[in-house]
Amino acid sequence: MDRAPSEIWAKIFSFACTDSGFTGRSLSLTSTFFRLACEPYRLQSIAAFGPRKILAVDHILSVVPAHLRRVRYLFISLHPIDHSISDADEDVEEEPVVIAVRRIMELVADTLEVLGLNLTPWSLGDETVIPMPRLTDLISNNYPLQQDRGLFEALGPPPHDSPNPPVLEIPSPPAFPKLRSFHLTKVMEVSNYTHMFGEISKLMPSLTYVKFSETKDIGFGNALSLALGSEPLTASGAAHGTIFTARLSTSIEKVYVRPSVPQTIPGGYITGFIYQAFLKDMIQLAERGLARFVFLRAPASNNEQVWDPWVDWKAAVAMRGGEDRWNQDERHSLESPRHPTQGETI
């Protein structure tokens, strides 16, 4: 084996070490030769599920020499992989885990190409965005948009007589200059989407494909319609009010929207009504035939919705980043939804 050129082994290990980190660890235990040969790639791909695993990864990356800390693919979830809560994880406070998440991101920011984050809402709130010059794919349920929380509360909706949306201060150069694919796995329900669409365009100037999942807010469809340069939506009959929404960048070729699982909570008439109104607006937007907009079907179950970030991260790694991996996803039916009757759950 040691007669093969080092370039061949480098290529083999580069392609092999693209999972949660299991392959890299296993190869390093095979033999002394394999341990030394795969060492630069052992930490190339890492997935950490749950607080204790996150703290362990933070420790490893903090002590390993910088030249061996070339992490290209990273997935971090505050939830264990089976979504259960072990006694060990239950004893870990959230604050040190969140600090560890940020430290991990800072340590590997220069080499990251695909990043997946499944955190609690606002867990990295009000923190400065970490520049990642090589990042091509980002799958996240909040970062880097969660720091807008303070802006939403402080600025609120722009005045009705304001001719332009408020301009936010975005660091220059952009934090993610090579990012081509962004999946926001949980769209937060906020009253003003001006900042969200504006920051996406400013932070990610090369963005080509964007996907919004778990959407159900009645104001989202109208804001997206305006961000795409289309007219306001009227299908739901909802009073959207005056919305000043920044346009999404013209670099974006496709905008995918996947609604959340239909609500089934007891006494969910209001929630169900809002969800159906949201669907009506989105169907109207889809019927306009905008070349950039694609309305996807809702997840068939909560289980499918929960696993979506992890599945999408693996797909991004497999495609080596930056590709349109959602163009074959099942589209939503354009049949107009009916409103539920009083007392009916959706």
Q: Tell me the C-alpha distance between 192 and 194, whole Å.
A: 6
Q: pLDDT at residue 24 above 80? A: no
Write out pLDDT tens, residues 26-66.
Answer: 666 566 666 666 666 678 889 999 999 999 999 999 999 99
pLDDT score, position 5: 62
Minimum mean pLDDT among 102-116, 117-131, 188-202: which range? 188-202
Highest mean predicted confidence (pLDDT) among 109-113, 138-142, 168-172: 109-113
DSSP string of 100-119, one letter each residue: HHHHHHHHHTTT-SEEEEE-
296: pLDDT strictly greater than 90? yes
Residue 233 has pLDDT above 70, yes or no: yes
Q: Which residues of 261-282 are buried (b: 16+ CB within 10 A; e: fewer)?
A: bbbeeeebbebbbbbbbbbbbb
Instruction: Report the C-alpha gap between 333 and 295 in whole angstroms.
Output: 9
Report percent pLDDT > 90 for the chain: 38
**Reported confidence tier of residue 252, pLDDT bands at 50, 70, 90:** very high
**What local confidence, expressed as pLDDT, does residue 232 receive?**
85
Asked if pLDDT for residue 141 goes beyond 60, the answer is yes
Burial of 173 (0-12, 13-18, 19+ CB in 10 A): exposed
Is residue 158's pLDDT more than 70? no
**Residue of 309 and 23 predicted with greater confidence:** 309
